[in-house]
Structure 1
Amino acid sequence: MRTTEIDLDPAGRVRAALPSEMQRRSRIMEKVRHVYLRTARDTVLQGHFEGLMADLTERREPDAAVDVEARAELLEGNILVVLGESGAGKTTAIRRLLSKHPLSPNYGRQVVGCVALTVRVPSPCSVGELGRTVLRATGYKIGRSRISGPETWGIVRERLQALGVLVLHLDEFQDAHLTLNVDEQMKLRHLLRSLLVDEDYPIVLIVSGQPSFETFLRPDRSSVRRGRWQAFGKLSLPADGGAVTKAVAALAGVAGLTVAGDFGHAVFPRLVHAGCNLLGITIEEIHDAIRYAIEHDRKELDLGCFADAFAFRTGNLAPWNPYLASDYLTVDPTRVLAMSNPPPPDEPSGRRKSRKARG
Structure 2
Amino acid sequence: MTDISADDEMLAHIRATVSPDTEYRSRLLHELKATHIVTPADEKIADELEKMVAHVLAGNSTEGYALTITGKSGAGKSESLNRCLDAHPSFKPFEGKYNKLSLSLRAETPPSTTLKSLGKELLISSGYEVAVNGDPDENWRTLIQRMKIMQTRILVLDEFQHVLDAPTSMKYMHLSNSIKALTNNKGWPIWLVIAGVPSIENFIDRDPHKQLDRRAPLVEIDDLKNEDDDRNRVEDTLYALIECCELSLGFVLTRDFLLRLMHGGIWRFGMTVHIIKNAIEKALWDKDWSRGRGKLTKEHFIEGYSRLARNCSLETNVFHVDEWHLIQREVDDKGRLVDAVSIKSRRKRAS
TM-score by length of 2: 0.83
Structure 1 runs not aligned, ≥5 long: 61-73, 346-359
SS across alignment from 1:179: coil
Give the structure with higher Rg (CA).
Answer: 1
**CA–CA separation in structure 2 for the residues paired with 1:165 and 1:13:** 38
CA distance 1:114–1:13, change in 2 (3 Å): farther
Could you tell me which residue of structure 2 aligns to residue 165 of structure 1?
152
Q: Report if the CA contact (8 A) 1:263-1:303 is conserved.
A: no
Aligned residue for 1:222, secondary structure, equals coil
Write the letter of the residue equivalent to 1:130: L
Q: Deviations over 1:68-108 (max 9, x none)?
A: xxxxxx4321111111111111111111111111221238x
Q: 1:273 to 1:18 in 2, by over 3 A?
A: farther
2:327 touches 2:342 (CA, 8 Å); kept in 1?
no
Deviation at 1:137, TM superposition (A): 0.8
The answer to whether structure 1 residue 275 and structure 2 residue 265 are counterparts is: yes
Q: Does 1:240 pair with 2:230?
A: yes
Q: Which residue of 1 aligns with 2:5?
A: 5
Aligned to 1:174: 161
CA distance in 1, matches of 2:164, 2:16: 42
Is there any run of 5+ residues in structure 2 with no aligned partner, and where?
Answer: 330-336
1:115 aligns with 2:103: yes
Structure 1 contact 293–299 (Cα < 8 Å) conserved: yes
Per-residue deviation, 1:164:
1.5
Match among 75, 98, 102 for residue 62 of structure 2: 75
Whole-angstrom CA distance in 2 between matches of 1:245 and 1:179:
41
When residues 193 and 335 of structure 1 are mapped into structure 2, their CA distance, relative to the original with a 3 A threshold, is closer
In 1, Cα distance between equivalents of 2:345 and 2:24: 42
Structure 1 contact 119–137 (Cα < 8 Å) conserved: yes
Change (3 A) 1:204 1:12: farther
Change (3 A) 1:18 1:168: farther
- 1:49 aligns to 2:57 (yes or no): no
- Tell me how far apart the structure 2 counterparts of residues 112 and 260 of structure 1 sit (CA, whole Å): 50
Paired amino acid for 2:214:
R
Task: State the match for 1:138 in structure 2.
Answer: 126
CA contact (8 A) 2:264 2:272 kept: yes
Counterpart amino acid of residue 224 in structure 1: D
Matched, 1:305 2:309: no
Distance (Å, rounded) in 1 between the aligned partners of 2:132 and 2:274 = 42
RMSD across aligned positions (CA): 3.0
Q: What residue number does 1:195 align with?
A: 182
**Aligned counterpart, 2:218:** 229
Q: CA deviation at 1:247?
A: 0.8
What is the deviation of 1:260? 4.9
C-alpha distance in structure 1 between counterparts of 2:222 and 2:103, whole Å: 29
Whole-angstrom distance in 1 between the partners of 2:240 and 2:111: 37
In structure 1, the residue matched to 2:140 is 153
Query: In the aligned structure 2, how far is the partner of 1:343 from the partner of 1:56?
Result: 55
Contact 2:327 2:340 in 1 (8 A): no
Name whichever of 6-15 and 26-35 sits farther off: 6-15
Q: Do 2:62 and 2:186's aligned partners in 1 also have CA atoms closer than 8 Å?
A: no
- Give CA deviations for 1:198-228 in whole Å, capped at 9, x if unaligned: 1211121111111111123312111122211
- In structure 2, the CA distance between the partners of 1:7 and 1:84, relative to structure 1 (3 Å rule), is closer
Paired residue for 1:30? Answer: 30
Question: What TM-score do you get using the length of structure 1 for normalisation?
Answer: 0.82
| C-alpha distance in structure 2 between counterparts of 1:83 and 1:106, whole Å | 26
Alpha-carbon spacing, 1:283–1:223, altered in 2? closer, same or farther (3 Å) = same
- Pairing 1:329–2:318 present: no
Using the alignment, how far apart are the partners of 2:338 and 2:36 within structure 1?
27
% identical equivalent positions = 22
Deviations 1:154-196 (A, max 9, x none): 1111101101212211111123422332222222222122111
Indicate the SS of the match to 1:23.
helix
The CA distance in 1 between the partners of 2:157 and 2:40, in whole Å, is 23
Residues 279, 228 of structure 1: alpha-carbon distance in 2 compared, 3 angstrom cutoff? same
Which amino acid counterpart does residue 54 of structure 1 have in structure 2? A
Structure 1 residues 154 and 51: CA distance shift in structure 2, 3 A: same
Q: Is the 8 A contact 1:325 1:331 kept in 2?
A: no
Distance 1:21 1:291, change over 3 A: same
What is the SS of the residue equivalent to 1:141? Answer: coil
